[in-house]
Amino acid sequence: MTQTIFAPTIFALASAPGRGGVAVFRLSGPLAGPALARLTGSLPPARKAVRVRPTHGGEVIDDGLALWFPGPASFTGEDVCELHLHGGRAVAAALAQALVELGLRPAEPGEFSKRAFLNGKLDLTRAEAIADLVDAETAAQRRQALLQLDGGLDRLAEGWRADLIRALALLEACIDFSDEDLPDGVTEQAAQVVAQLAAELRGHLAEGVRHERLRDGIHVAILGAPNAGKSSLLNRIAGREVAIVSATAGTTRDVIEVHLDLAGWPVVLADTAGLREAAEDIEAEGIRRALVKAEAADLKLLVFDAGRPADAATLALLGEDSLVVANKADQPGSESFSIDGAAPIMLSARTGTGLDELLERLTGEVASRFALTQAPALTRARHRAAATEALGALDRFDPGLGLELAAEEVRAAAGAIGRISGRVDVEDVLDVVFGEFCIGK
Ligand SMILES: Nc1nc2c(ncn2[C@@H]2O[C@H](COP(=O)(O)OP(=O)(O)OP(=O)(O)O)[C@@H](O)[C@H]2O)c(=O)[nH]1
Ligand SMILES: [K+]
Ligand SMILES: [Mg+2]
């Protein structure tokens, strides 16, 4: 990969905007050094924090620290410096103005990481992991992002690509040197590599959706008849008054979502409109949305009023992805509530009784469905699209249809896999041919 040449020098506030104890500004590009020297009088020694008083137009901006990371041993691979100043809006504004006057421009979102990628400092999976780590809200998300930042997925994908290049080399050898003495079974060897990899890709694709859920949140929908107490339950779980609760049937219409950290699992809990043959348009639209949500949810909490017979519309949603909640257990007569083939969790959204059991059951369901066995993993739709394309090519692989065609499929698979890390050159093939077989010497 080539160093970006004549790239404009960029700067950004690397810490969160607004007031704070310390604000970190990052500069990257050819003007980073000159700008720092202009502001502080001299360039500090590399990678050592020094006390500075950045000054511009005769005015001291602030009192802080500067760090100088000459390229290529820097995050972006370019000359980089950091200024650690006091975290105030006026300080940030004064520094930004000074930097613009010195010829720098504000960075676009992700531009530092993009430069790091273009300069070969980061592969795409690590760049994505940085974004995931910054966004991580639960322990499970943090762990998954760290694993990817550590290069787990990069190494996995590069291992797959290496296998494919080896298979390709075997096939190319058969094509190019068909007259000569090749070891027996070369084509079979290639076919074996392809079959093994196809099986592995299939396994990872099957798990990939779960990993993506771990990134984006596991969707749990609360469903049930009007007045069953769905909104009361949402509020109880969220610990605040998110949704309107009232004795009027048909109160909730829009889907109301709350993001939760459920024992480390990222959960998006959705309250929905009560299911019934609706009288008017707006409620009917709410019910349509509720059913769409039910369809898309990873898990359903089916809420019944324990004092009433179970309604057919909610019963119709019963399945292995649902937990049955018998609400209003504080009311007399609720003990006799039962549903065939389901063990209801007795609960009172009003008093909170039974909530612990519900959360325990829910956590158990989430953990058993989303506990991950394959790490590292395909954590994004982008990764899965590449792996799916590769698998498609490998499924079409058939040396019986001609070696050239078979080699073409393997090359396509290697190209698709290479896109996961952003490494797309597959022409290291000949090196492997001559390195591994010494043919034609
Ligand atoms: N006694 C008792 N009443 C409850 C309980 N949970 C909810 N309620 C009452 O039941 C009524 C309906 O509660 P909601 O939470 O609005 O019910 P909902 O299922 O969201 O209703 P819709 O949005 O209309 O579908 C309200 O009057 C609540 O106070 C409970 O555990 N015990
Ligand atoms: K209601
Ligand atoms: Mg409601």
What pTM does this model have?
0.73
Q: Tell me how far the alpha carbon of residue 250 lies from the centroid of ligand 3, in angstroms.
A: 7
Query: What is the C-alpha separation between 251 and 8, in angstroms, rounded?
Result: 55
Identify the residues whose C-beta falls under 6 Å from ligand 1.
224, 226-232, 245-247, 249-252, 273-274, 327-328, 330-331, 348-350
Residue 250: nearest ligand to its CA?
A: 1
What number does the ligand 1 atom closest to the CA of 232 have? Answer: 15
Query: What is the C-alpha separation between 131 and 216, in angstroms, rounded?
Result: 13
Residue numbering of the annotated binding site = 26, 82, 121, 227-232, 246-252, 271-274, 327-330, 348-350, 441
What number does the ligand 1 atom closest to the CA of 250 have? Answer: 24
What number does the ligand 1 atom closest to the CA of 331 have? Answer: 1
**Res 421 pLDDT > 80:** yes
Domains defined along the chain, listed by start: 10-120 (3.30.1360.120), 216-370 (3.40.50.300)
Residue numbering of the annotated binding site for GTP = 227-232, 246-252, 271-274, 327-330, 348-350
What number does the ligand 1 atom closest to the CA of 249 have? Answer: 24
Q: What is the pLDDT of residue 377?
A: 86
Query: What is the C-alpha separation between 30 and 236, in angstroms, rounded?
Result: 55
What number of other Cβ atoms are within 10 A of residue 384's Cβ?
21
The mean pLDDT of 360-382, rounded to a whole number, is 85
**Ligand 1, atom 13, residue with closest C-alpha:** 229
More confident: 429 or 20:
20
Could you tell which of 223, 227, 269 is best to mutate to test the pocket of ligand 1, judged by most ligand atoms within 8 Å of the CB? 227
Query: Running DSSP on this structure, what letter comes out for residue 335?
Result: G
Q: What is the 3-state secondary structure (H, E, C) of 269-330?
A: EEECCCCCCCCCHHHHHHHHHHHHHHHHCCEEEEEEECCCCCCHHHHCCCCCCEEEEEECCC
More confident: 121 or 438:
121
What number does the ligand 1 atom closest to the CA of 347 have? Answer: 31
Question: Using 50, 70 and 90 to split pLDDT, how confident is the model at 439?
Answer: very low
Query: What is the C-alpha separation between 392 and 387, in angstroms, rounded?
Result: 9
The angle formed by the CA atoms of residues 436, 437 and 438, to the nearest 5 degrees, is 105
The H or E element spanning position 80 is strand 80-87
Q: Tell me how far the alpha carbon of residue 232 lies from the centroid of ligand 1, in angstroms.
A: 6
Listed residue (190, 194, 197) closest to 169, CA to CA: 190
Q: Tell me how far the alpha carbon of residue 240 lies from the centroid of ligand 1, in angstroms.
A: 15
Count of helix runs (H) and strand runs (E) in the chain: 14, 14
- Mean pLDDT, the chain, integer: 90
**Ligand 1, atom 7, residue with closest C-alpha:** 229
User: ipTM exceeding 0.90?
Assistant: yes
Residue 229: nearest ligand to its CA?
A: 1
**Ligand 1, atom 1, residue with closest C-alpha:** 328
What number does the ligand 1 atom closest to the CA of 348 have? Answer: 31
Query: What is the C-alpha separation between 170 and 437, in angstroms, rounded?
Result: 9
Q: What is the pLDDT of residue 332?
A: 92
Contacts of 395 (CB under 8 A, 6+ apart): 198
Token look-up 């179970």 returns 310
Assigned token pair, 96: 């930004």
What angle do helix axes 139-149 and 186-216 make, rounded to 10 degrees?
A: 140
Q: Tell me how far the alpha carbon of residue 218 lies from the centroid of ligand 2, in angstroms.
A: 26
pLDDT in tens, 15-72: 888 888 999 999 999 999 999 999 999 999 999 999 999 999 999 999 999 999 999 9
Assigned token pair, 119: 């300069």
Q: Tell me how far the alpha carbon of residue 364 lies from the centroid of ligand 1, in angstroms.
A: 26
Residue numbering of the annotated binding site for Mg(2+) = 231, 252
pLDDT in tens, 67-110: 999 999 999 999 999 999 999 899 999 999 999 999 999 998 88
The mean pLDDT of 233-243, rounded to a whole number, is 96
Query: What is the C-alpha separation between 243 and 199, in angstroms, rounded?
Result: 46
**Res 360 pLDDT > 70:** yes
More confident: 70 or 181:
70
Residues with CB under 5 A from ligand 2 (ion): 227, 246, 251
Residue 346: nearest ligand to its CA?
A: 1
The mean pLDDT of 346-369, rounded to a whole number, is 95
* 220 exposure class (CB count in 10 Å sphere: 0-12, 13-18, 19+): buried
Residue 350: nearest ligand to its CA?
A: 1
Residue 306: nearest ligand to its CA?
A: 1
Q: Tell me how far the alpha carbon of residue 222 lies from the centroid of ligand 3, in angstroms.
A: 10
Residues with CB under 5 A from ligand 3 (ion): 230-231, 251-252
Query: What is the C-alpha separation between 96 and 171, in angstroms, rounded?
Result: 57
What number does the ligand 1 atom closest to the CA of 274 have? Answer: 25
Token look-up 């990993």 returns 211
Token look-up 């802080």 returns 64
Residue type, 125: T
Q: Tell me how far the alpha carbon of residue 244 lies from the centroid of ligand 3, in angstroms.
A: 7
Provide the pairing of β-strand 55-56 with 59-60. antiparallel
Q: Tell me how far the alpha carbon of residue 226 lies from the centroid of ligand 3, in angstroms.
A: 7
Between the CA atoms of 162, 163, 169 and 175, what dihedral angle is there, to the nearest 10 degrees? -150
